[in-house]
């Protein structure tokens, strides 16, 4: 296995319905997913304009597991699922830690979890500023990071993690909007959230958070569909006792554990489906 922690800027690259529990009737407002407030038109636009600032103002982290098949008569495992946090760090707080844990790694130590679900590939973009991280937000449909797109394109599934407000979601304080184009994945996620008491709303009821744009990396998989989760601010805050960039990884709560466990169980069941085969 290889762990890659990117800290150099690629300056030369210029050129990516099931109804849930009753959660309230707040009218959803414009979400970050619309990109109306974005300063940068794409990830590569951000990388160029913030050249020399990687590792200081923003970071990219990913892990691709190494698989080798030199056998003529036998088949060996291959990666099926990638977990993504496109607005991690201080942009949509808590999504970096969730990305690592759902991929199967303790967010503080990066040690593999021993829960029987294995490990998955992951990719994240993180805001590292002490303030003003919202300015680093690039809406998902405008993500053109070459590694992110290549990882999505070589995976059968992507689970993408985002943050929203309860007003944007039209829900009660602690809830998650379940979106993406993979309807089976959505059904599995909602069932697992029900099992652990996590309130959810279907993305089809919240267009700005639905995750159905086909150029969104979540849907740029080998199957052209994936799963997207938009977690409210209050739900993410309940997952940590020290809700700071430095403190979150080492202060996760049982809410965090329940959410991560539900997602990992859903991915395991998804990967057992008849469409999860590469010929």
pLDDT tens, position by position, 201-244: 999 999 999 999 999 999 999 999 999 999 999 999 999 999 99
Q: Determine which of 3-17, 154-168, 263-277 has the lowest per-residue pLDDT on average.
A: 3-17
CATH-assigned architecture of domain 24-63+78-270: 3-Layer(aba) Sandwich (3.40)
pLDDT for residue 117: 97
pLDDT for residue 69: 86
Asked if the model's pLDDT at residue 42 lies above 70, the reply is yes
Confidence of residue 39 (pLDDT cuts 50, 70, 90): very high
Encode the chain in three state secondary structure.
Answer: CEEEEECCCCCCCCCCCCCCCCCCCCCCCCCHHHCCCCCCCCHHHHHHHCCCCECCCEEEEEEECCCCCCCCCCCCCCCCEEEEEEEEECCCCCHHHHHHHHCCECCCCCCECCCCCCCCEEEEEEECCCCCHHHHCCCHHHCCCHHHHHHHHCCCEEEEEEEECHHHHCCCCCCEEEECCCHHHHHHHHHHHHHHCCCEEEHHHCHHHCCCCCCCHHHCCCCCCCEEEEEEHHHHHCCECCCCCCCHHHCECHHHHHHHHHHHHHHHHHCCCCCCCCC
pLDDT tens, position by position, 82-103: 999 999 999 999 999 999 999 9
């Amino acid at each position: 296995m290889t762990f890659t922690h990117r800290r150099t800027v690629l300056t030369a690259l210029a050129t990516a319905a099931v109804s849930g529990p009753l959660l309230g009737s707040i009218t959803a407002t414009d979400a970050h997913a619309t990109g109306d407030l974005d300063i940068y038109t794409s990830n590569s636009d951000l990388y160029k304009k913030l050249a020399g600032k990687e590792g200081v103002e923003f970071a990219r982290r990913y892990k691709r597991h190494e698989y080798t098949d030199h056998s003529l008569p036998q088949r060996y495992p291959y990666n099926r699922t990638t977990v993504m946090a496109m607005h991690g760090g201080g942009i949509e707080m808590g999504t970096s830690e969730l990305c690592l844990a759902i991929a199967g790694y303790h967010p503080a130590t990066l040690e593999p979890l021993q829960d029987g679900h294995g490990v998955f590939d992951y990719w994240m973009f993180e805001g590292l500023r002490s303030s003003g991280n919202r300015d680093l937000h690039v809406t998902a449909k405008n993500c053109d990071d070459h590694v992110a797109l290549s990882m999505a394109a070589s995976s059968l599934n992507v689970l993408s993690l985002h943050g929203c407000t309860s007003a944007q979601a039209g829900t009660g304080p602690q809830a998650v909007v379940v979106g993406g184009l993979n309807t089976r994945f959505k059904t599995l996620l909602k069932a697992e959230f029900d099992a652990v008491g996590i309130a959810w709303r279907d993305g089809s009821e919240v267009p700005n958070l639905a995750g159905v744009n086909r150029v969104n990396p979540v849907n740029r998989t080998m199957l052209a569909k994936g799963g997207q989760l938009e977690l409210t601010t209050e739900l993410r805050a309940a997952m940590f006792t020290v809700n700071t960039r430095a403190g979150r990884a080492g202060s996760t709560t049982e809410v965090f554990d329940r959410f991560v466990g539900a997602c990992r169980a859903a991915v395991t069941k998804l990967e057992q489906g008849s469409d999860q085969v590469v010929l």
